[in-house]
Chain A
Amino acid sequence: MSGFDVRTAQLDDIPFLVEAIRESERLSGDSNECMYRRIYGLTETEVTKLIVETLSSETEGHQLSLGSFLVVSHDYAPVGCCAHWIEQAGVRASGTRLAMIISRSIGLSRWRARAAAVRTLSASAPPRSVGALQLESFFVTPEFRGRGIVRKLVEAAITSVERLESPPSFAEISLLVENEPATRAYYKIGFEPVIGASMASEQFAELTGSGGFIQLRRSLASPTDQRRKLAPNT
């Protein structure tokens, strides 16, 4: 992996992140649309505006916050990214934070008009575990795929939370079941499916064309455990 650097996203990365988020939220099937477009009934231009505004909103702790993103760069150009944050409870939950921001961006009346679609999404998405490291919106540019960049991002995200006063005990990823290549990639780096996490409904399938979400988890060994693992056998 020489020549690749992982860093926290900066304002200059927003154009790359917009494309990355659109790709990572793309639905499979005929429409090939971004999830945000389908849920909120937006045009392509409005989706871009929504993502740019949300990334620029200086909020934290959700999947569209600039500070949540790690970026892998090669020769100073971004080639991959993922969002990471620790899920919080109550009105600080990522879903609530994001709902507040999106409602401001698209306007309250429009938000209320899409309430049924938002409820369908909420009811189908596996609940995020409070206190867990959340990982989402993985994207690697096509020419750099297969070079271990997803692994590098996951390791960097785990390293970033290891020294917290109360480090998370596991990492969690939710993704659409149709995204099989990504699911296989996560299995290779230690993630396992959470049985019974999928709650796909007919309404969700009708709305998005997707069979629902799969949720994956990976236990996070404490730094002490990791040092023990690295120590030579005696």
Chain B
Amino acid sequence: MESILSRLQPVFREVFEDESLTVDRGSDASSVDGWDSLAHVNLVASVEEEFGVRFALGELEDLQCVGDMVDLIERKLKA
């Protein structure tokens, strides 16, 4: 089964319009060019669409890096 992180790669590439972008669990807003508030809104919407989940605002409060996002998606998919 494809890992959550590998499914996130094309989502990030599309949102940040960078075909060579590769993210890992430690990637965050300081290491990805253009990860500002507008990009974050688009990213969350695209991730929700890709995984068929809906994040509560409170769940998004704790996100700091891609690893947090992977863990959150895993929890949502198991729920």
Contact = CB atoms under 8 A, between A and B. Distances in A.
Interface residues of A, number: 26
B29 to A, nearest CB: 4
Contacts of B63: 91-92
A119 interface: yes
Given A96-B37, A122-B36, A122-B37, A58 B58 contact: yes
Interface in A76-93: 89-93
A104 B55 CA distance: 11
B44 interface: yes
Interface string B21-48: 0000000111000011110111011000
A59 B61 contact: yes
Nearest to B60: A100
Contacts of B6: none
- What is the size category of the interface that chain B forms with chain A? 10 to 19
A91 B64 contact: yes
A57 B58 CA distance: 8
A185 interface: no
A25 to B, nearest CB: 18
A100 B57 contact: yes
In the complex, which of the residues A57, A98, A101, A103 has the most CB atoms of chain B within 10 Å of its own CB atom?
A103
B57 A57 contact: yes
A187 to B, nearest CB: 30
A24 B52 CA distance: 39
Contacts of A101: 57
A232 B30 CA distance: 48
A122 to B, nearest CB: 7
Given A59-B57, A100-B60, A90 B30 contact: yes
A39 interface: no
B37 A95 contact: yes
In the complex, which of the residues B30, B57, B64 has the most CB atoms of chain A within 10 Å of its own CB atom?
B57
Interface in A28-64: 57-61
B69 to A, nearest CB: 9
A207 interface: no
A100 B48 CA distance: 13
Contacts of B30: 89-90
B58 A111 contact: no
B37 A93 contact: yes
Contacts of B29: 89-91, 93, 96
Contacts of A100: 37, 40-41, 44, 57, 60
Q: Which 7 pairs of residues, A with B, have the shortest CB-CB distance? A: A99-B37, A90-B29, A96-B37, A103-B41, A95-B37, A96-B40, A91-B29
Given A59-B57, A59-B58, 12 more contacts: A58-B57, A89-B30, A90-B65, A91-B28, A91-B40, A92-B63, A97-B61, A99-B37, A99-B41, A100-B37, A122-B36, A122-B38
